[in-house]
Structure 1
Amino acid sequence: MTYTSIWIAFAFVLIALLLSLWQRLGLEKEIAIGTVRSTLQLLVIGYVLQFVFHADSLLFILLIIAMMIAVASWNAASKGKKLRGIFWRIAISLSITELVTMGLLVTLGLVTPTPQYLIPMSGMIIGSSMIVCSLFLSHMNREVETSRGEIETLLCLGATPRQAVQAVLKRAVKASMIPTFDTMKTIGLVQLPGMMTGMIIAGASPVEAVRYQILIMLSFSSSAAVSAVLISMLSYRLWFTRDAMLHH
């Protein structure tokens, strides 16, 4: 694909802008900023990855993964702005999820430990886990507000914060994991995932592309569960004061 093709593809953005103007949605600024940012970010990371792939240095690989975790944590933390320290808890959750998932993939010999495999697969795992953490925070905020009376009653009866919020915590964890497993149910029938599609377009055998996609989707099930449980364990106390009362 040439740069001319990319310029032509901006016609799709123009369609979105025209529809926003026509329906008076007020999304023109968001569409423009999103388009410019995504284009520049992808171009920059393309050149960075090209350098890292040629360098084949473990330090560069770790720096790229650390950057991914930092950005993902910052993005997910925006769903819990009122929760002090939520960024670091998300970062810890994503780091452990990445370590466990990629560690197993490499240890079991399912992935070759080279930049060409480690960085793209880490990006997909971290991105999927970021969405899980974001969904958890959104659902947890909503569940706590909805069940405030129930939680405060349990606290008054002598329950610990963990005991009082346990039912709410379970619902939030479950809700954050559902989209991942719903996607797994329809993959290949409703949508052809990005990694598989990219490999096919690049000339790989569809069967080989499917094998890698199956590997990724199966690892997503583990990463979703690990990240959801970790963020729930690390963050539930943030909804309470030091005196074990709910924040208002």
Structure 2
Amino acid sequence: MDWEWLRDFGKGMIKPLLALAVVIMAMVLSYLQKLGLEGEMIYAIFRSFLQLSIIGFVLQFIFNQHTSIWIIVAYFFMVSVAGYTAGQRAKHVPRGKYVAGASILTGTAVTMALLVVLNVFPFTPRYIIPVAGMMIGNAMTVTGVTMKRLRDDIKIQINLVETALALGATPRQATMQQVKRSLVIALSPVLDNAKTVGLISLPGAMTGLIMGGASPLEAIQLQIIVMNMLIGATTVSSIMSTYLSWPSFFTKAYQLQPKVFVAE
């Protein structure tokens, strides 16, 4: 077995270890300011090092395989973790983890399928897994915010919603304004990022390509694709989450579920 890549990995870790100097600086500042974050910083750095090292070896294994099954396995694993995390953010939404997982799966799968069909990306692990990771991460954040905001807005305006229901509105009609508001708030950061990309900071994909030796023109081509796919995936996922979550806010008699809006 060729272990040359493992030796290269060990040599490549010298610079990341040297970069710990800036973390030590942050810890010293935390200590001097009596913030008490030193332990959390150590834990965060150790965890990130461990997680990234593991995923690096896993990706190295997957990239060396000649089957698409590992793409699907990695994709569903990322969706599962993202659904759980987004569900934790919206913990008062009934079956929030399943709603988030289904929404993220739908939004990212539809977007990825469209990109593959249009031959924007080849269906290979080296392309699909990193691209899917970016989409799933953003969809996770947006979906969690959408679900939490929708539930909180309905709770704040519960009298208006109940009045609309009493006047004969359907649950969807009674909560239309809350749905729109939650979607706008959740999607605004993604859209703002697209508006200012390249002006305030260089995004990760573009920066990685430039540091890897690609020309800036090649880098911006990929970054434009990334921004487009993020807007598509997050929009589909967030809208899907409202359709899947709001029915659980109501009874079969079109009344609000008290238990959903009592807990804090």
Q: TM-score, normalised by structure 1?
A: 0.93
Give the C-alpha shift of residue 26 in structure 1: 4.0
**8 Å Cα contact 1:56-1:114 kept in structure 2:** no
Q: Aligned partners of 1:27, 1:233: CA distance in 2, in Å?
A: 40
**CA 1:238–1:26 in 2, change beyond 3 Å: closer, same or farther?**
farther
- Pairing partner for 1:245 from 239, 244, 256: 256
The reply on whether 1:19 has 2:52 as its aligned counterpart is no
Give the whole-Å Cα distance in 1 for the aligned partners of 2:76 and 2:171.
33
Matched residue type, 2:176:
Q
Report the Cα distance in structure 1 between the residues aligned to 2:220 and 2:36, rounded to whole angstroms: 40
* C-alpha distance in 2 between matches for 1:242 and 1:22: 58
Q: 1:16 to 1:75 in 2, by over 3 A?
A: farther
Mean CA deviation greater in 153-162 or 72-81: 153-162
Query: Which amino acid counterpart does residue 214 of structure 1 have in structure 2?
Result: I
Is 1:97–1:227's contact at 8 Å kept on the other side of the alignment? yes
CA contact (8 A) 1:80 1:86 kept: yes
Q: Deviations over 1:165-224 (max 9, x none)?
A: 111011001111111110001101111111111111111122111111111111112112
Whichever residue aligns with residue 60 of structure 2, its letter is: Q
Match of 2:59 in 1: 49
Alignment of 1:181-220 (within 5 A): 181-220=191-230
Tell me: CA distance 1:54–1:22, structure 2 relative to 1, closer, same or farther (3 Å). same
Secondary structure (helix, strand or coil) at the match of 1:195 reads: helix
Selected match of 2:104 from 80, 94, 98: 94
In the alignment, which of 208, 222, 238 is matched to residue 228 of structure 1?
238
2:130 equivalent among 120, 123, 127: 120
1:29–1:141 distance in 2 versus 1, CA, 3 Å: farther
3-state SS of paired residue (2:64): helix
* 1:75 to partner: Cα distance: 0.9
Q: Do residues 157 (structure 1) and 167 (structure 2) align?
A: yes
Please give the alpha-carbon distance, in whole angstroms, between the structure 1 residues aligned to 2:31 and 2:153.
36
Which residue, 68, 71, 80 being the options, matches 2:81? 71
Q: CA deviation at 1:141?
A: 3.4
Give the partner amino acid of 1:245: L
Task: Name the structure 1 match of 2:184.
Answer: 174
Picking from 46, 49, 54, the partner of 1:36 is 46
3-state DSSP of counterpart to 2:122: coil
Unaligned runs of 5+ in 1: none
Aligned equivalents of 1:20 and 1:56: distance in 2?
48
- Per mean C-alpha deviation after superposition, the further-off stretch among 136-145 and 223-232 is 136-145
Whole-angstrom CA distance in 1 between matches of 2:28 and 2:251: 48
3-state SS of the aligned residue for 2:168?
coil
Q: Measured at CA, do residues 58 and 20 of structure 1 come closer, stay the same or move farther in structure 2, by a change above 3 Å?
A: same
Provide, for residues 19-58 of structure 1, a one-character-per-residue CA deviation record: whole Å limited to 9, x for no partner. Answer: 3334444434433332222111110000100110010321
**Residue of structure 2 aligned with 1:109, choices 119, 141, 157:** 119
CA distance in 2, matches of 1:10, 1:97: 37
Give the match for residue 133 of structure 1: 143
Runs of 4+ in 1 over 4 A off after TM superposition: none
Residue 55 to residue 193, structure 1, CA distance change in 2 (3 Å): same
Consecutive unaligned residues of structure 2, counting only runs of 5 or more, are: 1-10
Task: Report the aligned-residue RMSD.
Answer: 1.8
